[in-house]
Structure 1
C-alpha cells in the first residue's frame, strides 16, 4: 500500500516539508518521502550516538555518498555538524563537479581521517589509486572507513582493511522511508536503533516475533520518530540475522544484513544470496568485483571475476579450483565455469544509490529472469 499510494500516508503537504527525498527505485517505482525538521533531527542525533566513537574531535571526514534526492549524504553531514566534526562532500559520480581526479586532489589537500563510502565505490577508488601508485600515499591519513549503502561481508572488510591499513566498519543500515535502523557503535558491532524504533521479525513460517539471538527473518519496523509520514509495522523486505541476545536496558541486539528477499534466486536447487556469494569470492581471492552469469536453460551459473590491478595470471588455475571447492562447501553449488577479466562495467561497482545486486551483479542468458 505504501508503494502504491505513498502520499496518502503523509501528514503534511509537500510544500510544508523541510526536505523532499525519494527512494532509488531499484526494486520498483521511486517512493516520495518528505521529512520535517523533527524527522531529520531525531535521525541525526540517534545516529550520532552510535558514530561518536569513530567521529572523534579533530576528525576530518570525506563524505563520498550521494546527496541528490536520497538522504544518506545529508545524514552524514548532519551528524558531523551535530558532533562539530570537519567534513567535505565529494560524491565521485556528480557529473561536471566531482570525478576521481577531483577526489584525489581533495584528498591531497584535506588529508581525511574518516571515509564514508559505499563498498562498490571504495573498490573503484582503490583500483584508481593503485593504478597510479597513490594508494599508500592517500591511505596514510585514513584511520577509519565507514561502509554503507550496500550489503558487505567480513572477508570483504578485512581485505580492504589490509589494503588501506585502517579499520573498516559496516557503518549503518536503513532506508529512505524509515531512516537509520541500525548503526555501528563503540563496540564496533552493528546494533539495532532500539531507542528510536520498535522492531519485529517476520519468520519464514509467518510468525511475527520479537528479535532474538539466532533468528533469521524479514525485519518489520515501527519508527517512533517519523512525523511527516508515520509508519506502523513496515515490512522492510530485508532479511536479517540477529547475532546477539536481546538485553533490555543494556546494549541492543547486533545483527547481520543478508539483503533483500527479492534478490535471492534459485540455481540448481541452491539459493544464491549476496552474503554467501561474497563470502566465497572475497574470502578466497583478491578479485575486485564479480558478475554471476545465469543460464536458465541449463539451470547453471558461471562466476566472472575482475582481476585486481596487481595480479598474477599464473595463479588462476589454482584459484579456479579453490573457488569451485569453496562454493561447493559453503553454498552447495558448483559453478559451470570460473572466468577472470581485466575490467567489469563501472555500474557493477557504482554504489547502493545506483544499483541493486540482482540487477547489476547477475546476468541472465538463455531465458527469462
Structure 2
C-alpha cells in the first residue's frame, strides 16, 4: 500500500490521449472491443478480456438482485453498438435468468417507435432500462398518441442509465409512469461499473471490485462521509487495461447511513468537473440546473441559450403534451427565482416551447450536455 500511494494520479486526459499504451493486450487479443461515446472529445478504444466482462456483469447482477424479481420481463432501450451498456444489461439478465429483449428506438432501419410499441404490447415489460433522455422522448410520444396508460400498466420499475439524472426528474418520471424510478448505476466504459442503486434509491460504491480515493484541495484522501472531491478509482477486475489511480474527473460527495442497511459507502455524483459551466460568473453543473428545471416545472426537457461570453440569455422549456398553459408564467417565474437563489443565475427570458430538438434527449450514446442542452447564440444589436 505504501508503494501504491506513492504512484502518481493518472489524469483521464492522459488515458484518452494514448489509450492503447495503457493496455496489456492489443485489440486483436481481446474478447470484446468497445469504445467510449466520445461525448467529451475523442472516443477511447477499450478492449476487454472475457474475465473483465464476466466479473463486471456478475458483480452488477448480484448488486441489482435485491431490486429485480425472478419473474421480471426486461426491456432494454439502450444502444447495442460500440459502447458496452447494452451488452451489460443483457448479460445481467442472462445471469439472473430474466426474459429480456433490446429495442433501442434510434437504431435506424431496425427499431423505431412503432416497432417499439408493438414489442411492448407483446412482451408487457415489468422493468425498463433506459437513458433519461430517451425516457423523456418516449413519454411525450406515448402521451401524444394516447398510449401511455396502456403501455405503462405492466411497468413497475424504470432503471435509468447513461446520463446524470436528479431526484426531481426521477419523481416526475415515476408519476408519469406509475412506477419506481432508480438511477441504476454509475461508471464508465473505461472503468466498468463503479456504483449501483439500492432499494432506497441511493448509489452504493462497489469496493469489492474497485479501490476508491478522492482528489480534494487537500490532496488525494481515502473515502470519508461528507467529503466532496473527484473520484479516483483503481478497478480490480480490468485486466485488458489495468488502471492505477485513475482520476475520473467526476465530482462526487460521499455519504453513509443508507436506509437499505448496506455498509458500502453511498455516493452522490454531481457530474464531470469538465462539464461544469461558468454562466454569468456562476459555476453550474447539469445536476444543479436539472434540480431547478424538474423541481419547479412540469417541463419534459430544456435548452439553454447563452452568448459567446457565457452570459445566460434564454432558458427554453419543453411543455408537456397535457400541460396547463395557464400556469406557464407562474412556473417561469419560479424558475427565475430558483435559478437566482440556488445558482446565482439571472435569465433574460424563460419560455415554454412545444418541442425541442431530438438531440436534447436521444440518450447516452449520442449525448453530451454541453453539445445538446446548450446553444451559443450571437446577440443582435
**TM-score under structure 1 normalisation?**
0.96
SS at match of 2:17: coil
Compute the displacement of 1:52 (Å). Answer: 0.6
**Alignment partners' CA distance in 1, 2:301 and 2:367:** 14
8 Å contact kept, 1:10–1:230: yes
1:98 to 87, 111, 114: 111
Tell me whether 1:56 sits opposite 2:69 in the alignment: yes
Compute the displacement of 1:185 (Å). Answer: 2.6
Compute the displacement of 1:267 (Å). Answer: 1.6
Cα distance 1:14–1:340, how it changes in 2: closer, same or farther (>3 A)?
Answer: same
2:191 to 168, 178, 199: 178
CA-atom RMSD, angstroms? 1.6
Partner of 1:154: 167
**Alignment partners' CA distance in 2, 1:198 and 1:245:** 20
Cα distance 1:78–1:304, how it changes in 2: closer, same or farther (>3 A)?
Answer: same
Tell me whether 1:358 sits opposite 2:375 in the alignment: no
Partner of 1:116: 129
8 Å contact kept, 1:21–1:71: yes
8 Å contact kept, 2:279–2:310: no
Unaligned runs of 5+ in 1: none
Q: Give CA deviations for 1:185-231 in whole Å, capped at 9, x if unaligned.
A: 3443210011100001111x151011211211111100001111100
Tell me whether 1:74 sits opposite 2:91 in the alignment: no
**Alignment partners' CA distance in 2, 1:300 and 1:189:** 32
Partner of 1:208: 220
8 Å contact kept, 1:52–1:185: no
8 Å contact kept, 2:256–2:266: yes
SS at match of 2:363: coil
8 Å contact kept, 1:50–1:186: no
Compute the displacement of 1:299 (Å). Answer: 2.5
SS at match of 1:2: helix
Partner of 1:346: 358
**Alignment partners' CA distance in 1, 2:79 and 2:42:** 19
Partner of 1:327: 339
**Once structures 1 and 2 are overlaid, which stretch shifts more, 179-188 or 118-127?**
179-188
Partner of 1:228: 240
Provide the aligned length of Structure 1 versus Structure 2. Answer: 364
**Alignment partners' CA distance in 2, 1:183 and 1:195:** 13
Q: Give CA deviations for 1:224-251 in whole Å, capped at 9, x if unaligned.
A: 01111100011111111112269xx962
**Once structures 1 and 2 are overlaid, which stretch shifts more, 208-217 or 26-35?**
208-217
**Alignment partners' CA distance in 2, 1:300 and 1:226:** 42
Partner of 1:237: 249
Partner of 1:268: 280
Compute the displacement of 1:56 (Å). Answer: 1.5
Structure 1 segments of 4+ aligned residues over 3 angstroms from their partners: none
Tell me whether 1:167 sits opposite 2:180 in the alignment: yes
Unaligned runs of 5+ in 2: 1-13
**Alignment partners' CA distance in 1, 2:310 and 2:155:** 47
Cα distance 1:178–1:127, how it changes in 2: closer, same or farther (>3 A)?
Answer: same
2:295 to 264, 283, 292: 283
8 Å contact kept, 1:297–1:366: no
Compute the displacement of 1:298 (Å). Answer: 7.8
SS at match of 1:231: coil
8 Å contact kept, 2:253–2:269: yes
8 Å contact kept, 1:307–1:343: yes
Tell me whether 1:292 sits opposite 2:292 in the alignment: no
Cα distance 1:298–1:352, how it changes in 2: closer, same or farther (>3 A)?
Answer: closer
8 Å contact kept, 2:148–2:177: yes
**Alignment partners' CA distance in 2, 1:78 and 1:260:** 27
8 Å contact kept, 1:63–1:116: yes
**Alignment partners' CA distance in 1, 2:310 and 2:198:** 46
